[in-house]
Structure 1
């Protein structure tokens, strides 16, 4: 079972900036988390007035989810756009989802792809994953398993569990790459380490097709990759690009 595109979780998304240097932002997030939306709105509006991208983004999420305000997707889209002008990858992702779904804005797959790519190139794993799904399915783009693999690998290297699982399935089925049960096992095991139950079941299927020595080697490789991912030192392998011929 493939993992499909993901969308921002409304209230949970408000908790995504706990490491921010802005005390006001942290206070706003804490207030939102405890249901004190008036306090959160005050903080986020102040930060938005200061032209602070994370504050604008969080204010947009409040309007998108209807937290302490009347739900207003058009207002949310406008605020996301303001945050994008200041370079917010999270806002790029959220507005891309809106264009993809046609909620709050007119549905526009081209704009969605462009925004997903901008966020992905800023190393936002969720955007990388969604692009992988879109290229795998031919959703708004010309279907390309090879490009799907590229984006899944980037997201997997950022420890994005859903991408790790989908990457394993690509190797298992030989989509965008040569079929490779050992690599399927490796990425299923890594996703399993991150708590993915589907990956655990898939790993069992892989193991049935492998010898004990293959399992041992693959487990060692998975452990090494997983440790490097945790340390931020893992880089996706460079795969040869498919040749194109002109006649």
Structure 2
């Protein structure tokens, strides 16, 4: 790096690094150290504050064996927090609570992630009040998210998406994903793409899904298989490229063999409908089953359909019912509609029109046309 002249009229580089969003996501520790060393005011901080904060993290068991933080923080987050770390006693986080109360977004985010880590490992008091702890996590993440902290926005979105400590709200999750995604946070870009792909909290739009998935892939944060899978989806449907279902099926099959759940569902779909590849009900059932075992709600519905009608497997209404139930419980509208049909017809379960209507309504509320038509035929209102 070229030597920079610093005098009293130059901008405070330390302030730029700590509080500029672009620096937060773009620079690593080495780059920040190089920049900070040109500022005499910041130089002492590198030799004392950050190591002191890392020592405190070690006392709190927040470091991996390699010495890296288990909780992801941007370099600027670490600096912003370390400024207030004054040699606290082991496992004492009162100073961090104070910083969070004073509006330090990085401190609020770190506290929330510490609590989430303990909840995931069940490391809390002997008689924990889980509801209170989840409320604390949500409040802390919300505080940081309101201060435009992208990782807090992402983790708060995950809470709403997965119903962790809050009521499930896909629309709220999608908006939080969007806030973080616009700031360039790859995991949020993937989350937003997922919302567009499934029509969860936003109008379904494959072009928008591909746009956000691609933004994440272009940053090198995706595992490659996702990017290839998306290209296959584009080829299969003709999104932005000439439609080529045969090539798409070849990609799906390769990724499916590597254990990619979405690709297993798609290659199963190709065999089921004979699209881009020869129709083969046995292979369709095989791939649907492997994807369903990885909790794909769409594949679970298709496994149920195969068992119901004997596509690639012997007819078994009881098994069809169980797979429809798994899909329905994941809020899949197709699975809900099929489960309603099981209860209406008494296939795989005792006939129960009230329960059938319950599941038809669930599906109809998600605009499933078959469920809507069935309810209309039964003379039942939503």
Q: Shorter-chain-normalised TM-score: which range?
A: 0.5 to 0.7
1:110-137 per-position Cα deviation (integer Å, ceiling 9, x unaligned)? 2111110011111111111112122211
**Pick from 245, 250, 273: which aligns with 1:73?**
245
Contact 2:189–2:213 (Cα < 8 Å) also in 1: no
Q: Tell me how far apart the structure 1 counterparts of residues 271 and 304 of structure 2 sit (CA, whole Å).
A: 17
- The 5 Å alignment of 1:129-168 reads 129-168=301-340
- The 5 Å alignment of 1:47-66 reads 52-66=224-238
Contact 1:32–1:40 (Cα < 8 Å) also in 2: no
Q: What SS does structure 2 have at the residue aligned with 1:142?
A: coil
1:102 shift after superposition: 2.4
Q: Tell me how far apart the structure 1 counterparts of residues 360 and 368 of structure 2 sit (CA, whole Å).
A: 8
What does residue 207 of structure 2 align with? Answer: 33
Contact 1:56–1:82 (Cα < 8 Å) also in 2: no
**Pick from 352, 358, 364: which aligns with 1:180?**
352
Q: Tell me how far apart the structure 1 counterparts of residues 348 and 285 of structure 2 sit (CA, whole Å).
A: 20
Are the structure 2 counterparts of residues 141 and 47 from structure 1 closer, same or farther at C-alpha, using a change threshold of 3 Å?
A: farther
Quick check: which has more Rg, 1 or 2? 2
Q: Tell me how far apart the structure 2 counterparts of residues 134 and 47 of structure 1 sit (CA, whole Å).
A: 40
Q: Tell me how far apart the structure 1 counterparts of residues 241 and 326 of structure 2 sit (CA, whole Å).
A: 37
1:52 shift after superposition: 1.4
**Pick from 187, 197, 212: which aligns with 1:21?**
187
1:186-237 per-position Cα deviation (integer Å, ceiling 9, x unaligned)? 22232233334543564577688xxxxxxxxxx9xxxxxxxxxxxxxxxxxx
Q: Tell me how far apart the structure 2 counterparts of residues 178 and 102 of structure 1 sit (CA, whole Å).
A: 35
In structure 1, the gaps of 5 or more residues are 1-16, 209-218, 220-247
What does residue 121 of structure 1 align with? Answer: 293
Q: What SS does structure 2 have at the residue aligned with 1:195?
A: coil
Q: Tell me how far apart the structure 2 counterparts of residues 22 and 123 of structure 1 sit (CA, whole Å).
A: 22
Q: Tell me how far apart the structure 2 counterparts of residues 189 and 101 of structure 1 sit (CA, whole Å).
A: 28
**Pick from 259, 267, 283: which aligns with 1:87?**
259
Are the structure 2 counterparts of residues 86 and 205 from structure 1 closer, same or farther at C-alpha, using a change threshold of 3 Å?
A: same
Q: Tell me how far apart the structure 1 counterparts of residues 259 and 242 of structure 2 sit (CA, whole Å).
A: 27
1:45 shift after superposition: 8.7
Contact 1:45–1:56 (Cα < 8 Å) also in 2: no
What is the TM-score when the length of structure 2 is the normalising length? Answer: 0.42
What does residue 269 of structure 2 align with? Answer: 97
Higher relative contact order (CA 8 A, sep 6+): 1
The alignment yields a C-alpha RMSD, in angstroms, of: 4.0
Q: What SS does structure 2 have at the residue aligned with 1:21?
A: helix
Are the structure 2 counterparts of residues 192 and 86 from structure 1 closer, same or farther at C-alpha, using a change threshold of 3 Å?
A: same
What is the TM-score when the length of structure 1 is the normalising length? Answer: 0.61
- The 5 Å alignment of 1:227-242 reads none
Q: Tell me how far apart the structure 2 counterparts of residues 197 and 105 of structure 1 sit (CA, whole Å).
A: 29
Are the structure 2 counterparts of residues 190 and 139 from structure 1 closer, same or farther at C-alpha, using a change threshold of 3 Å?
A: same
In structure 2, the gaps of 5 or more residues are 1-176, 198-204
What does residue 240 of structure 1 align with? Answer: none
Moved runs in structure 1, 4+ residues, more than 6 A?
17-20, 24-27, 29-32, 39-48, 204-208
